């Protein structure tokens, strides 16, 4: 068996043809010896070929796929099957050609068993070289079996009527798929439409599923929205007291509110006017926190190098506008109070607003 795997397709086809020829030669020899076929029969030692192919059939596990109820066989299996058929054919006539008895008892050899019958119906035609396509087709099991080239030609001239693909009858539409009668008029009573709504929402498993999905999603959304309003805010209050005005001596930048409130309280000069103002510690470029450099008397941002004068005006780096001010005032108790909920922007002229500074004396 091992060397069989090495055979090329051409060789296998040649072998199949040879075996079919043997079969057709052997068959007439046993059935009705006609003069034409008797001559090749005597030439071909049919008897010597028989045991070989018969043994091949018995040993062969290949035609299994056929037994598996229509699983498509691989090419190798098809070839094996073709070989098996050839063997069966040559074996069958030798035993007892006309009987219905299968040459091999295995159910696997079913296609092979069909063959003799098919051949019996037209024994006269079987002779001459086989058509390659028909051999392969026979192996695939779609067509009756290898036929002669003459047969193939005949088949080509008058193709057998193919079984028409009959479309199975459409299943009747279920109720829910039928086009519902159009709402002809809006005369549907409120009661009916309400029932219709309920029917859509809860009338089927799909409806129930979608409805519950929607409700759960809505609940989730609501729950998520609730997160936006926490019970406790740990942020520092927007207003805070920064001590008495006298705590900010002229020319100083008070940094002690930076960590908690993000504010520099500066007593400085703006446009020739001494003021106390609260600068927001956020760079106007990209929002980093600048540092106050006492030695250079400037605010310098570490991210992109923006620099601001003590009054908050930008002068170097990419910051497009000055630092912002928070609202600042003297509270009723005399302390400086800073309100971080209001900001004042210089470029909008808001630093002139008296709420943005406390006048101071130099």
Partner 1 sequence: MAGQTSDFPAMHFPALLAAGGLIDQATFLSGVKGFLTIYYLGLAITNAVAAFLLWHHWHRPKAALVWTIVATVFGGILAPMAGSGDPYWTPRMPEAIVSFLNSWLSGQVGAIVYTIGSVVFLSVLYLGRDFFVRPMVAWTGLNLALLAMGLSMVNQNFWQVVSKGDNIPIVGLMFLLGFFTWLATYRAVINDKRIAEGLPPLEKLDDEKVLVWPDLVYTELVCMLALTAFLLVWGILIQAPLEQPASSVKTPNPSKAPWYFLGLQEMLVYFDPWMAGVVAPSLIIVGLMAIPYLDFNKKGMGYYTINERKFAYLNFQFGFLVLWVTLIVMGTVLRGPNWNFFGPFEPWDSHKVEALKNVDLSEYFWIGLLNRGLPKAPTGSGFFVELGYILLRESPGFILMGIYLFVVPPALAIGTTLFRNMYLKMGFLRYMLMTNLLLMMAILPIKMALRWSFNLKYIIHIDEWFLNF
Q: In three state form, how does the secondary structure of 6-75 look? A: HCCHHHHHHHHHHHHHHHHHHHHHHCCCCHHHHHHHHHCCHHHHHHHHHHHHHHCCCCHHHHCCCCCCCH
Give yes or no for residue 115 binding partner 1 (CB under 8 A): no
Contact 308, 323 (CB under 8 A): yes
Residue closer to partner 1, measured from CB, 299 or 360 = 299
Nearest Cα residue to 292 out of 273, 308, 270: 308
* Site membership for partner 1, residue 280 (CB under 8 A): no
Place of tokens 């630092």: 323
Q: Does 86 bind partner 1 (CB under 8 A)?
A: no
Binder among 313, 317, 339, 355 for partner 1 (CB under 8 A): 317
- 293, 330, 353, 359: residue in contact with partner 1 (rule CB under 8 A): 293
Which of 157, 349, 361, 362 binds partner 1 (CB under 8 A)? It is 349
Find the binder of partner 1 among 302, 330, 353, 359 (CB under 8 A). 302
DSSP 286-352: T----EEETTTTEEE-TTT--EE-TTS-EEESS--SPPPEEEEEE-TTSEEEEEEEEEE-GGGTGGG
With a CB cutoff of 8 Å and minimum separation 6, the contacts of 237 are none
304 lies in the binding site for partner 1 (CB under 8 A): yes
CB of 264 to partner 1, least distance (A): 11
- Out of 97, 146, 307, 312, which residue is the one contacting partner 1 (CB under 8 A)? 307
Question: Segment 228-257, which members bind partner 1 (CB under 8 A)?
Answer: none
- Encoded tokens for 147: 């036929």
Nearest CB to partner 1, comparing residues 303 and 355: 303
The answer to whether 305 contacts partner 1 (rule: CB under 8 A) is: yes
Residue 25 or 261: the one with the smaller Cβ distance to partner 1 is: 261
**Binding range to partner 1, per CB under 8 A, among 18-26, 65-73, 183-191, 292-300:** 292-300
Q: Which residues pair with 264 in a beta bridge?
A: 279
- The whole-angstrom separation of Cα 311 and Cα 334 is 24
Q: What's the rounded Cα separation, in Å, for the pair 300 and 296?
A: 9
With CB under 8 A as the contact rule, the residue among 153, 218, 286, 331 that binds partner 1 is: 286
Smallest distance from the beta carbon of 76 to partner 1, in angstroms? 23
Interacting residues toward partner 1 by CB under 8 A: 258-259, 262, 281, 285-286, 288-291, 293, 295-296, 300-305, 307, 315-318, 320-321, 347-349
């Amino acid at each position: 068996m091992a060397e069989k795997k090495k055979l090329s397709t051409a060789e296998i086809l040649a072998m199949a043809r040879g075996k079919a020829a043997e079969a057709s030669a052997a068959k007439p020899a046993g059935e009705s010896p006609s003069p034409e076929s008797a001559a090749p029969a005597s030439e071909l030692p049919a008897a010597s070929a028989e045991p070989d192919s018969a043994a091949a059939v018995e040993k062969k596990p290949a035609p299994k796929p056929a037994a598996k109820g229509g699983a498509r066989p691989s090419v190798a299996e098809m070839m094996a099957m073709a070989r098996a058929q050839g063997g069966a054919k040559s074996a069958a006539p030798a035993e007892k050609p006309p009987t219905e008895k299968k040459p091999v008892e295995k159910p696997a050899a079913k296609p092979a068993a069909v063959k003799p019958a098919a051949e019996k119906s037209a024994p006269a035609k079987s002779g001459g070289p086989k058509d390659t396509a028909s051999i392969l087709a026979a192996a695939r099991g779609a067509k009756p079996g290898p036929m002669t080239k003459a047969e193939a030609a005949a088949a080509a001239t008058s193709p057998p009527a193919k079984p028409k693909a009959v479309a199975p009858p459409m299943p009747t539409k279920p109720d829910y798929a039928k086009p519902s009668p159009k709402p002809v008029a809006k005369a549907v009573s409120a009661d009916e439409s309400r029932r219709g709504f309920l029917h859509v929402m809860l009338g089927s498993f799909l409806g129930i599923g979608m409805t519950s999905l929607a409700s759960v999603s809505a609940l989730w959304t609501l729950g998520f929205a609730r997160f936006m309003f926490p019970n406790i805010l740990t942020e520092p209050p927007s207003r805070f007291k920064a001590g008495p005005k006298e705590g900010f001596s002229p020319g100083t930048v008070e940094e002690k509110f930076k960590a908690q409130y993000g504010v520099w309280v500066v007593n400085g000069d703006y446009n020739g006017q001494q003021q106390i103002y609260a600068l927001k510690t956020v760079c106007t470029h990209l929002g980093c926190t600048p540092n106050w450099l006492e030695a250079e008397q400037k605010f310098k941002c570490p991210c992109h190098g923006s620099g601001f004068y003590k009054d908050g005006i930008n002068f170097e780096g990419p910051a497009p506008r000055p630092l912002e001010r928070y609202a600042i005032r003297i509270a009723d108790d005399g302390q400086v109070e800073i309100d971080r909920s209001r900001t004042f922007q210089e470029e909008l002229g808001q630093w002139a607003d008296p709420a943005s500074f406390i006048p101071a004396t130099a």
